[in-house]
Amino acid sequence: MIFQTINPTNNKVVKSFDEMTDATIETAISQASIAFNEWKLTDYQTRSQLLYTVAGLLRAKRKELAKMITLEMGKLLSHAEGEIKLSAEIFDYYAKNAEQFLADKILNPVHGKALIRYSPVGVLLGIQPWNFPFYQVARFAAPNIMIGNTVLVKHAMNVPQCAMAIEEIFAEAGAPLGLYTNLLISHKQTEKLIGDKRIRGLSLTGSEVAGAIVAAEAGKHVKKSVLELGGSDAFIILEDADIDKAVEWAVVGRINNNGQCCVASKRFIAVDSIADTFLEKFKTKMEAVVVGDPMDDATHLGPLCTEAAALKIADQVKRAVDGGAKILMGGKRVNREGAFMEATILTDIKPENPVFYEEFFGPVALFFKVKDEAAAIALANDSPYGLGGSVFTQDIERGKRVANQIDTGMVFINHPTWTQADLPFGGTKGSGYGREMAQLGLDEFVNKKLIRVSELSDPF
C-alpha cells in the first residue's frame, strides 16, 4: 500500500510513501513498550514541560504546518492556521491541568482509609482521520501522555506528511524514543496490531464501519476502545430565534472545513412560522459563498479531501433527488479541476428517501420545515447518530429545556456544535462512545486504582 499526498485542488500526486514493513512495526511497538516502562515513572512536571515545548513548536511552525494541511486535504489556509492554534492550546491545557485532574481522590469509607489513585495503563493505539490532521492527534496524545501512557498513531492515508510532521515535532521537543510513534500502516496491519498484547487500548475517530471493526477486534482481545464516529447534527431554529444570527451561524456550521466535519450542522430544522424567512436568507448567504483555491484568502469553500469524496457527495445528492428531494441551490460538481462541490441546499427530504438517515460529509445542507418545537425535537432525534446539535432561541431557559430532550453527546445554544480544549467532546448512539478533551479526556485510558489502608481494629 502506498500513502500519497494528492493535492485535492488539482488532484495531482505530490509525494508518495511506502507502508512500513512488519519488522519496522515490531520495532515501533517494542520501543513504545520500553518507553512506557520509563515514562510512567516520570513526574507531572517532566511530562508537562514536554507538552509545553510541543505547543511552542506548533506555534513557531504554524504557517508551514498550515500549508501542509491545506496541501494534503484542502482546508482553507486560515482555518488550517486556526487548527494549529487549537492544537497548541490542547497541549497547553493538559500540561497545565492534568496534575490537578489526576490528583488522588480521597474516599471516606465506613472502615479504614482509602483513596483512588490514577495510573497509566500502557501503550495506546490511536487511529486518526484526515479532516483535522493535527487537532485530532492532539486531543488523543496530549491527555494520554500526561497520564503516563505512550502512543502509537495510525493516521489517515491521505495526510502522510502531516502525520510525519507531528512525530518530528515530538522528537524536536525532546520526547524519548517510543513515546510518540507515527505508523504508516495498512488497514490489515492495523487490525493485526490491535491483537498485540503490548497495546492496552484503542481510540478511533472515523466512520461507523471502521468503528464497528475496531470495537469488535478490541472486544475480542478484552481491550478498551473509545470511538468518535459520524454525525448528522441538527440545527434547530425556533420561532423566537434571532434569524439573522441563526443564518450567519448556519452557513459557518455547514461549510466549516469544506463541510467535512463530524459536528458540522447538517440538518436544518425550522418551525413553520419562521421557516420560509430563514430559508430565503440562508439561500442568499449560501449563494454568496466563494468556491476556490484554499490557499487564497478570498475563498470561503475549498475542495473536498479527495476526488473519491467529491464523487460520493455528488452521488448522494443524485440519490436524494431520485428519492424525491428538491435542489434549492447548487447540487453539482464545480466546473474546474480538483475535488470541488457546489454549496448545496436540499429540501423535501422524506423518511422514505434513501439518504434520509445518511451523513452528508460535504457542503450539502438538508432543510426541514416542522410544525412546532415538539416536532423539531422529534425530527432531531430521528437519526442513527447522536454527536452534537444546536438550538437557536432568544429564551435561554427554553433552549436548555430543548437541549435536554435531544439525544446527543453535545448541544450548543445559539451556536453550531464547536470544540475547545476545556469542553468534553463525544457522542452517543451510532456516533460512538467515550469522551475526549477537558477533564473527561483523562478518564478513558487510566487505571483508577483503589488503595485502602486498614486500621488495626478493622473488622475485615
Residue written as grid cell 470495537: 215
How many CB atoms within 10 Å of residue 25? 21
Listed residue (158, 157, 224) closest to 190, CA to CA: 157
Give 60's contacts (C-beta < 8 A, 6+ positions apart).
Answer: none
Please list the alpha-helical segments (H only) found in 348-410.
373-381, 396-404
Catalytic site includes residue 228: yes
**Strands 326-329 and 364-370, bridge-based pairing:** unpaired
DSSP code for 349: -
Catalytic residue (choose from 72, 81, 228, 359): 228
Listed residue (125, 376, 396, 387) closest to 242, CA to CA: 396
C-alpha span between 179 and 111 (Å, rounded): 41
292-298 own/partner pairs: CB under 8 Å, 24+ apart: 293/9, 294/9, 294/70, 294/74, 294/75, 294/76, 294/77, 294/258, 295/9, 295/67, 295/70, 295/77, 296/77, 297/77, 297/78
Catalytic site includes residue 262: yes
Catalytic residue (choose from 72, 83, 217, 262): 262
Let me know: does 90 contact 116? Beta carbons within 8 Å: no
Listed residue (64, 75, 62) closest to 339, CA to CA: 75
Listed residue (379, 344, 369) closest to 276, CA to CA: 369
Q: What residues act catalytically?
A: 228, 262
